[in-house]
Amino acid sequence: MAGAPATDSAAAATGTAAVPLDDAVAGAGCWEDAAISLGLVGVQLASAAYMVVLTPVLELGLDPLFLIAFGSLCTGILTVPFAVKLESKKWPSELTSRLFFRFVVLALGGVTGFQALMLQGMKMTSPAIASAMPNLAPGFIFVISGCLGFERVDLKCRYTRAKILGTVVCLGGAVAMSFLQSPDARSGHVLPRSPDHAASWVVGCVCLLAAVLVLSGTIVMQAATMLRFQAPFTLCSVTSLIGAALTAAFRVATSGRLSPGTLQISLQIVLSLVFLGGVVSSACIMFQTWALEKKGPVMVSMFNPMQTVGTVIFSVLFLGSAMQLGSILGMVFLFSGLHIVLWAKNKECQVLADAAGRMEKSKTAHNDMEKQLLF
């Protein structure tokens, strides 16, 4: 078999060199790292392309709540088989009221609230702004976790100060993208904008910031839930289905019916986009979950800015958007702040792990010394 370890005699007989086992393992690891990296880039570019496709459809009258309800329903249905196959043994023996309450809150925040604010903000601003704002999440998560006592905050520690600096830099990038970017500028021509349009742009940016705050709080709660319910596919399926039901119920309660809106395109195209969104979301979630297990959260988070880069490129190519100073400056600040936060978090985890390892070795050495004294 190709790639299998060979004896010296077999290698001499065939005229081929034996492949050392360590080199083979290292080669397999390199291929896996490359596959994960390319997959994470593909995930972010697929999400970027979907956001760019949605923008003109929303402008043509598609109701965001209709999209959320049926898109989440598709995501939940598509991930159920994987949850049953891979995680059924991890399910608790009974569904407690506390766990169900957490499911509902996660669905309300992560599915209905976050997506509704994000789509509304994207509709009022641009796909590039909407895809850049979630890069604020690591900084907001640090602040929320620190206030709740989940995150280590020591102002004397340089890594804590670095995380605070990164959060401030991220906020500066968000402000730059919000107020230095001309609303809906198109390459090749600049039209005068009314005060109402400028106000709508600011409201859209506020919606995006609110969406990131909701997302950050949801992620903190999701992490706390995962400590006792270690079944990510199941959690995704359940919260998606509950979120779809809550969104549909809210839409029916406020408007009397669940409709796709005042469409200027065929319903078949809308349903195709909804199903495509469910497929893309499910595939991205499953791959990111696998990559998270293999490489950890820091590496997965490092690829998040690729969505913003892809969205900007696709917007320029297909929507005629113009690259302006606000976008470039804001993205530089956002990416810099994001990487500062992730770098500090990674270094802090390494320091804590090294300290725990030294304590364990010291404890083991102390126990060995006691045994020698006893005998």
Q: How confident is the model at residue 365 (pLDDT cuts 50, 70, 90)?
A: low
Q: Is residue 23 part of a domain?
A: no
Q: Is residue 117 part of a domain?
A: yes
Tell me how many domains the chain contains: 1
Q: Is residue 16 part of a domain?
A: no
Q: Residue 186's beta-bridge partner residues? A: 189, 321
Q: What is the pTM of this model?
A: 0.74
Amino acid at 53: V
Contact in structure between 135 and 335 (CB atoms under 8 Å) = yes
Least confident of 15-29, 190-204, 229-243, 317-331: 15-29
266-314 pLDDT, tens digit per residue, is 888 888 888 888 888 888 888 887 887 777 666 677 777 788 888 888 8
The answer on pLDDT for 84 being more than 80 is yes
Amino acid at 61: G
Q: Is residue 335 part of a domain?
A: yes
Task: Kindly state the percentage of the chain with pLDDT values over 90.
Answer: 17
Burial class (CB in 10 A: 0-12, 13-18, 19+), 257: exposed
Q: Is residue 374 part of a domain?
A: no
The answer on pLDDT for 247 being more than 90 is yes
Interior angle at CA 368, CA 367 and CA 371, nearest 5: 90
Q: Is residue 31 part of a domain?
A: no
Q: Is residue 33 part of a domain?
A: no
Inter-axis angle of helices 158-179 and 137-148, nearest 10 = 130
Give which of 296, 301, 370 is closest to 335, Cα–Cα: 301
* Residue 203 belongs to domain spanning: 42-183+194-257+265-368
318-343 pLDDT, tens digit per residue, is 877 766 777 778 778 878 888 888 78
Interior angle at CA 42, CA 211 and CA 138, nearest 5: 35
Q: Is residue 147 part of a domain?
A: yes
